[in-house]
Chain A
Amino acid sequence: MMHTRTTSLPRFRPANQETIVLLAAFALALLFAATLDGFSSWGNIMTLLRSVSILGILALGMIMVIIIRGIDLSQVAIGMVSAAIVVKGVALGYPLPVCLLVGLPLALSMGLVNSLLVDRLQIPALFVTLTTVFIYVGLARVTVLPSMIINLPPDSRSLTSLAGNWHSIPIPLLLFLACALAMHLFLARTTIGRFFYAYGDNPETARLYGMPVRIIPLMAYMGSALLAFLAGLLMVSTTAMADLKTVNSTLIFDVILVVVVGGASFAGARGSVASVIAGLLLVGVLLNAMTIMDINSQLQNIIKGAVLLVVLVADKWLYPFDEESSRQSI
């Protein structure tokens, strides 16, 4: 049975989730500015934004995939493995550009494999990317990365300089803003970007309309891998080492938290760069304030979980049950 959805674009919705989340983030920020010493200082705001920049770059990649009703759980693995291979190359004495020329195609090919498995073999994205995490990390570990921790040599400054500031603005933040702008222009202003939403809403209809449905998942998963590579390099630049343990951390769930909080939906065709920014600010403000208040990690997890639950309930309220989407979502 068909339930007609008037349109999939958030701007036509009676209430707009990213606006609500953005308002919530500002309300919380005002509350913390009034109650926490130093919260509203320029330095702290920059620290807050720096700390969410890497998460934001990953979330920009994730939103591409989620819009087309997919998911990429292997994103952190792709980013860390390709960045770790770059670090390994630098540690072995190869010039950085050469190492980057190895790492980039490697990241893209991992995205390509994900896309082929999801699109051509029609295996659900959740299972594909859950499995490829083990394959990518496993293959890297048995071949070139026997150790999970690879340190940058002390004299290699070109990568670590990425973690610095440009006129007191963190470079990771500038990179995030550049990526966000490019992604916004792509999703909102280009024809193929608009096709992403159509494909996410109903791939079959998109195909019947003559849209290039083979290209769309390819672009989404490879785009996600490209941004993961950049995020991986930024993580390396921040700590001067590649740590594959990050793959086992909860980072990928933080990425999904940001994207879903901001208004994307696993049913596809919803979400934009604005939703990433809204989700990112809410999560960033919360994490920063909780660190300042020195709240222990268990309580932090409870608060993060509660925020996600509130948003999911709000999502249910804003977008009532739709049988067709529920059946087709991941």
Chain B
Amino acid sequence: MKTKKNRSLSLLLLSSLLLGPAVAQAANPTPRDQMRLDFDKAVKGKTVAWVPITLGNPIGDMWTAAMRQNFEKYGIKFLVRDPNFSTSAQLQAVTNLINQKPDVLIVQNSNVTLLTKELKRAMDNGIYVIQVNLLSNQPTDAYVGVDYVDVGRQIARDIVKECGGGKSSGKVAFVQGEATATDSIDQLKGAMEVFKQDKSIKLVSTQAAKWDSNKANEITATTLQQHPDLCATYGSWGIMQQGAAQAVKTAGLQGKVKVYASSDGPRSDCDLVEQKLFHKILSFRADIQGEQVSNAVISLLQSGNKPGSKRMTILSNNYWVTGKQERNYCYDLPK
């Protein structure tokens, strides 16, 4: 009996001598190893919920694809809801998701008021909230997106450079999305700041095409009849402005009327630049924004902040696309 006990003790001693360093290493990882361990601890198994305005259009699909790719890599559970342009469906989706208590909630606001109460409730319930591309009246943990007033200024400056100072008729048409949509209003505001500084610029039309390329086509065709000497048309969304570009082509004014668009960078917008249907677009690249949103999620999860306690803003960069050489500023949707 005794001998057997002694043998077991010596075996234990021997094995602890041999395995000791390995165990100790696992218990005390190097700072380099620790980094990944801490990261995994903070993000792995967490749940992120995402409610865009709609899926099925390039921008929504690109954002979602970029986020999904990142979250899958890090073991984050990803919930997506598609309200299909319905504000009531969006509100309902957000309400239901908050009740499911995800760790992070990401929303693309339909307008500045719709989700304000729910976003506050989410943060009160310990959920980090990120808003994409349109900040509501309720600031949250993070805003990732475009500064649309600045987009308006940048495009207007280029229009003034090409049409202003008596170089042309100075006539400019602005094709809005919805007259009540904040991104359209902000772009027009930024553009007007710049246009006002050049007396030769005349804004001849500010019609709203309701994000519809057919409507943009009709409006632009009518404007071109009134003002065949139009110098530029500026659309607040690339896909909608494609209708305006076709109207310019049908009127035989391709190359004479400069078609500008603010763009999220879908491939079709760059194709139109290459076909000379668009003069220039200013792309904010939804693919990069998808990465920025993913980074904001990971930062918040590691921050240790209480949801709603701090605010962070990540602005998108804008890239001019003027020809084939800049085609990398547009994205192709992953298959």
Contact = CB atoms under 8 A, between A and B. Distances in A.
Interface of A: 37-38, 41, 43-44, 47-48, 50-51, 54, 141, 146-149, 151, 154, 160, 163-165, 235, 238-241, 243-246, 248-250, 287-288, 291-292, 294, 296-298
A238 B217 contact: yes
Residue of B213, B214, B239 most packed against chain A (CB within 10 A): B214
A117 B268 CA distance: 40
Contact of B242 (A38, A235, A241): A241
B221 A51 contact: yes
B239 A149 contact: yes
A239 B207 contact: no
B222 A238 contact: no
B225 A149 contact: no
B213 A243 contact: yes
Given A41-B225, A43-B225, A298-B179, A246 B212 contact: yes
A154 B208 contact: no
A43 B247 CA distance: 13
Interface SS majority for chain B: helix
B217 A288 contact: no
Interface stretch (B9-17, B53-61, B107-115): B53-61
Interface SS majority for chain A: helix
Given A44-B225, A141-B56, A239-B214, A147 B61 contact: yes
Contacts of B275: 154
B221 A50 contact: yes
B215 to A, nearest CB: 8
A241 B213 contact: yes
A147 B222 contact: no
B69 to A, nearest CB: 17
Contact of B205 (A38, A146, A287, A294): A294
B246 interface: yes
Contacts of B250: 163-165
Interface in B191-221: 204-208, 210-215, 217-219, 221
B243 A238 contact: yes
Contacts of B57: 147-149, 245
A288 B206 contact: no
Given A47-B222, A50-B221, A148-B57, A297 B246 contact: no
Given A147-B57, A241-B242, A241-B268, A292 B222 contact: yes
Contacts of B58: 147, 149
A25 to B, nearest CB: 17
Q: Can you list the 4 inter-chain pairs with the closest CB atoms, starting with the nearest?
A: A148-B56, A239-B213, A297-B208, A44-B225
Contact of A248 (B85, B204, B214, B219): B85
B226 interface: yes
B56 A294 contact: no
A41 B224 CA distance: 12
Interface residues of B, number: 37
A248 B86 CA distance: 10
A97 to B, nearest CB: 23
B56 A243 contact: no
A296 B179 contact: yes
17 contacts: A47-B222, A48-B222, A50-B221, A148-B57, A149-B57, A154-B275, A160-B246, A238-B246, A245-B85, A249-B215, A287-B218, A291-B222, A292-B222, A294-B204, A294-B206, A296-B208, A297-B207
A163 B85 contact: no
A297 B179 contact: yes
B271 interface: yes
B223 interface: yes
A250 B239 CA distance: 19
A122 B57 CA distance: 37
Contacts of B225: 38, 41, 43-44, 47
A153 B333 CA distance: 16
Residue of B208, B213, B333 most packed against chain A (CB within 10 A): B213
A50 B225 CA distance: 12
Contacts of B206: 294, 296
Nearest to A244: B56
A46 to B, nearest CB: 8
Nearest to B204: A294
A51 B222 contact: yes
Nearest to A299: B179
Given A37-B226, A243-B214, A47 B221 contact: yes
A244 B275 CA distance: 24
A189 B316 CA distance: 63
Nearest to B277: A240
A240 B246 contact: yes
Contacts of A51: 218, 221-222
Given A51-B222, A294-B207, 9 more contacts: A41-B225, A43-B225, A148-B54, A151-B271, A163-B246, A241-B242, A249-B210, A291-B205, A291-B223
B178 to A, nearest CB: 8
A245 B221 contact: no
A296 B205 CA distance: 10
Interface string B263-281: 0000010010001000000
B271 A154 contact: yes
Given A239-B242, A294-B206, A297-B179, A151 B268 contact: yes
A51 B207 CA distance: 15
Contacts of A240: 242, 246
